[in-house]
């Protein structure tokens, strides 16, 4: 089994869910739940996907 990842959590302590997406960091609930056990590579994938999701959402709301 691969050791858990070592990326800093993308959590910005502004947790508020819209469906299953956190409006603070952009992660989906399943990504939040898997974070601690995820490999370094998986954590990097989550960070990238969350940033893209968050940026799309911000752009669509003009923020």
**Consecutive H or E run containing 32:** helix 29-34
Q: Residue 49 falls within a domain, yes or no?
A: yes
Q: What is the pLDDT of residues 6-57, one digit of tens each?
A: 899 999 999 999 999 999 999 999 999 999 999 999 999 999 999 999 999 8
Using CA atoms, how far residue 59 sits from 52, 53, 54, in Å, is 10, 10, 9
Q: Residue 28 falls within a domain, yes or no?
A: yes
Q: Residue 37 falls within a domain, yes or no?
A: yes
For the chain, what is the domain count? 1
Q: Residue 35 falls within a domain, yes or no?
A: yes
pTM here is: 0.84
Give the domain range for residue 52: 17-60
Q: Residue 9 falls within a domain, yes or no?
A: no
In sequence order, the 6+-apart residues with CB closer than 8 A to the CB of 6 are 40, 43
Q: Residue 7 falls within a domain, yes or no?
A: no
The whole-number pLDDT of residue 58 equals: 81
């Amino acid at each position: 089994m691969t050791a858990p990842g070592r990326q800093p959590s993308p959590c910005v302590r502004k947790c508020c869910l819209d469906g299953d997406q956190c409006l603070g960091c952009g992660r989906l609930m399943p990504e939040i739940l898997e974070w601690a056990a995820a490999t370094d590579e998986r954590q990097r994938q989550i960070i990238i996907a969350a940033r893209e999701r968050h940026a799309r959402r911000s752009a669509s709301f003009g923020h």
